[in-house]
Structure 1
């Protein structure tokens, strides 16, 4: 939970809980004509502009109850997502990885992203493990990888990775995903000949 001091209209946002990229916010009215009014809503910091949604105002107890319901709702969404994963959620640690050399080509390697770069609800093994598909992107300090659990392509800097996952710590589901990616790469190469 974050204690904050930013404003939304006449409300000072005093609490914000970030669960899965969406903050549940609680605010207190700073206007003298509404001294006992509180606010509850959602806040999402986006690239072009911040988005506030589902804003409700009212007395302290009803808004606090709504705040707690919304936090519980976000927790339930994260829990449901993790239960659907049906794979071990154990976090990959630095000790489970081989260190990499700065000039080493990591393309085709199974890497683990440092869990500290994720939001707390996303610090689980399936969201850490990726397969490097493009090393040394134009910035020369980042790479593109495919997250093995869901196939999502992402970019990260070298400083964000723990290293190459040691074979004995590579989960079976991740090994299968790598085989599938490599098979697709072979088929694509054959189609371009």
Structure 2
């Protein structure tokens, strides 16, 4: 069976390079006589994990389109370098031996879990991207038939959707870095409901 063509609107995806949190896309539509080439971004960080294309720009010339394609790639690499330089010390990948494996009955809601490094793109295979705080999803419940797990990256606060099988387990206490404990306490404080003020203080 022929593989279904990947399309970005009317443009067939000709080049797609993942970098950072996006893909940079070059599409071709030879039926478009004015601008047969298109460069855009794509991400899949949504509820259904489907392609979302944005920032599209059309070109009449292939070389001009490739120049824009490489420019977007360079911008994304510079963003990653800036993010990495802001981290005070190296954070090597967390390995399975440092974790307690997940059990089918484990409830993940509100807990810190480790993402498998192979699930992440190579540029994100570091501890600051592996440690996540689970916030919801059917896959977060123990013995659930659901797979989706919604979580925040503990270090940056970015929100992502995972499958339960993308997760290694719980980081063993002796391997838990100080920054992770501090970030968790901060998140829990932010999510905690505020206490009502006494009536005599409400005025």
After TM superposition, the score normalised by the length of structure 1 is 0.69
- Given the alignment of the two structures, is residue 39 of structure 1 paired with residue 44 of structure 2, yes or no? no
Deviation at 1:180, TM superposition (A): 4.0
Tell me, yes or no, if the aligned pair for 1:38 and 1:63 is still in contact at 8 Å: no
Q: For residues 111 and 10 of structure 1, what CA distance do their matches in structure 2 show?
A: 40
Tell me, yes or no, if the aligned pair for 1:10 and 1:30 is still in contact at 8 Å: no
CA-based RMSD: 3.9
The residue matched to 1:12 in structure 2 has which SS?
strand
Q: State how 1:96-115 maps to structure 2 within 5 Å.
A: 96-106=98-108, 109-115=111-117
After TM superposition, the score normalised by the length of structure 2 is 0.67
Structure 1 residues not aligned, in runs of 5+: none
Q: For residues 52 and 106 of structure 2, what CA distance do their matches in structure 1 show?
A: 39
Q: State how 1:32-181 maps to structure 2 within 5 Å.
A: 39-45=37-43, 50-106=52-108, 109-132=111-134, 136=141, 139=144, 141=146, 145-152=151-158, 156-181=162-187
Deviation at 1:68, TM superposition (A): 1.4
Structure 2 residues not aligned, in runs of 5+: 197-203
Tell me, yes or no, if the aligned pair for 1:147 and 1:154 is still in contact at 8 Å: yes
CA deviations 1:93-139 (Å, max 9, x no partner) are 21221223322445665321123333444332112113456752795
Tell me, yes or no, if the aligned pair for 2:39 and 2:65 is still in contact at 8 Å: no
Provide the residue aligned with 1:12 in structure 2. 12
Q: Which protein has the bigger strand share?
A: 1
Please list every run of at least 4 consecutive aligned residues from structure 1 whose deviation after the TM superposition is greater than 6 angstroms: none
